[in-house]
Amino acid sequence: MSSKQNFPVPQSILKALALPLDPSKSSFSSRGFGAGFAKAGRIRALVPSKDGQQEVENNFFIKTSPHGENAKEMFRGEFASLNAIADAVPELCPRALAWGKLEDENEEEEVEEARSDVRTAWFLVTEFLDLSGYGRKVGTSLARRLGKLHSTPAPAAPSSLSSDVVNLREGKGDDNDDDDDDGGGGRPQFGFPVPTFCGDVKQPNEFRRSWADFFAEQRLMTVLAECEKRNGKDKELRGLVERTAAEVVPNLLGDGHLGFDKSGNGQGITPVVVHGDLWSGNASKGTIMRSSSSTAFENDDEAGVGDVVYDPSACYAHSEFELGIMQMFGGFGADFYREYHRIVPKTEPADEYADRVLLYELYHQLNHTTIFGGSYRSSAVGTMQKLLRKYGNK
C-alpha cells in the first residue's frame, strides 16, 4: 500500500474554487489511488463560516492527469456529465466544481519535484463523496433516484456550442453559431454538449433528432472505427456492425416504432440524462459532503447516506440505454428492477424490451473489445448474430 502524501494545493485550483490563497489554509493528500489514466486525492481547506466568526473545513475530491489534450477532454466531459445528473437529481452524484490546467509559478523546488508528474496536468475538482464504511451494495434508493433521473426530460440542445467551456452551468465560453439541422432547435435532442469518454474511448455525442440515428452513428459506428484504429481491420466485425446499424437499429429503435405499442398508440421517446457507464463499480452507498459554496439539498433527508453514482459518461439518450452495461456486468437484483420499472415502465413495444437492452449491451461489448479485445469480441459477434437473425432484413 502506498503511503499517504501531502502537498500544498496549487494556486490555480485554489483560484478556481475561490478558496483562500494562503497555503497554510489547505492541503492536498493522495495515496496514489485512482485509475491508470488519472490520479485522485482529497483537498482539505479552511474557509470562513457563514457568520464569519470561525473557520470550517471543506473537503473536495480531485483528479489530475498529465495526458494533455486527452485529459482536458476527459475532465471536461466528466464535469459536464456530473452536473447534468446533479442538476436533475442532486442527491444522486457529487457536483463538479471546477476543471482546468495546472498553471503555477514560483513553486519551491521540492514541491515541484514531488508533483513533477502532474506539473502540466489537467485537474477536475468535485464535491467530496465519502464512501468509507458503507459498503458497495446498493439498494432500492438507487432505483428511485435513477428512476427520477430517467423521468426528467433532458434540456434543449444548445443553439451554440463552445470548444473550451470551463463552467457549463454558467454558460461561459466562446460563441460558435451552428445552424445545422442536427444542432440547436430549442428542444431536447439525443446527444450531449461535449464529448465524453467510456473508459478511454471518446464519444463525440453530436446531436441528432432521431435516437436510432444517434445510436447507430454516434455509438456503434464510432466505436467500430476506434476498435479498428487500435486493433486493426476486422472484416467480419465490420460487416456485422454495419448490418446491425443498418437493419437491427431501425427495426428496434426506429422513429415511429420505439415508444408505440402494437396498435400504434404512443408518443415516441423523450431524451433523458443517462449516466452512460453504470456498472456496479460506479455505484455505491455514500454521503456527498456539500461545501459551503455548493447548492444545498432540498431537504435534510437527501443529505444523509444513500445510493450514489460517480465516474459518469453522460448523454441525452433513451432511458433503457442505461440498462445495457448494468445487464452486462450484473450487480443489480430483481428488487432494483422492480422498483425502477415501477417509476419508469418498459418502453413500448414492451415485448421487445429484452432485445433492446441486449442491443444497448452490444455497444459496451464493442467498447470493451476496443479496449481489451479477447472474449469481448466473441460476445459482440454472438450478440449481433442473434439480433440479425431476429431483426435483420430478410
Q: Exactly one of 182, 213, 277, 307 is catalytic; name it.
A: 277
Range 290-310 burial, b when 16+ CB lie within 10 A, else e = bbeebeeeeeeeebeebbbbb
Helices and strands per DSSP (H, E), number in the chain: 12, 12
- Amino acid, res. 22: D
Parallel, antiparallel, or unpaired: how do β-strands 306-309 and 283-289 relate?
antiparallel
From 187, 211, 184, 207, select the one nearest 317 (Cα to Cα): 211
Q: How far is CA 181 from the centre of its chain?
A: 26
Q: Which residues have CB under 8 Å from 304's CB, separation 6+?
A: 287
Neighbours of 89 (CB within 10 A): 20
C-alpha to C-alpha distance for 318 and 332, rounded to whole angstroms: 19
Active site residue 277: yes
From 333, 380, 337, select the one nearest 360 (Cα to Cα): 380
Neighbours of 36 (CB within 10 A): 7
Q: According to DSSP H, which parts of 123-205 are helical?
A: 140-149
> Phi, psi at residue 297, to the nearest 5°?
-65, 155
C-alpha to C-alpha distance for 216 and 89, rounded to whole angstroms: 28
Q: Which residues have CB under 8 Å from 286's CB, separation 6+?
A: 129, 130, 131, 134, 305, 306, 308
Q: Which neighbouring-strand residues pair with 208?
A: 190
Grid cell at residue 261: 405499442
- Amino acid, res. 253: L
- Amino acid, res. 7: F
- The count of residues in the chain is 394
**Residue 236, exposed/middle/buried by CB under 10 A (0-12, 13-18, 19+)?**
exposed
What are the residue numbers of the active site?
277
